[in-house]
Amino acid sequence: MKDFAAASENLGRAALIGIGAFALTLFLTFALSEAGYNADLAMLVLFCAMPAIAWYVSKAAESLGKNRYIYGIASLIPPIAFLSYLKLRQEILIAKLDRW
């Protein structure tokens, strides 16, 4: 059985962590480059946040009856995590439109 409420909640958490990590990475990139340091170190923030994002995407996939391991492992890579998020969010929105 598909639990759209739990999937939506988990995807919301994944998006919040992702946006926060991206914003912090962007801020650190500018701050480090202005201070004269190597700005590539700021990417570590984003990569450290990816396991949490992958966890919430995998929980959402499980709530929708998808394979949580495939979505979770694939979501460790930032572009694929974004595409996984969009795919799962699309399924939730289509289900809401069908009920409407």
Q: Where are the domains of the chain?
A: 4-99
* Residues near 84 by beta carbon (within 8 Å), at least 6 away in sequence: 57, 61, 71, 74, 75
Provide the residue-wise pLDDT of the chain in tens; the chain has 100 residues. 688 888 899 999 999 999 999 999 999 999 999 999 988 888 999 999 999 999 999 999 999 999 999 999 999 999 999 999 999 999 999 988 988 7
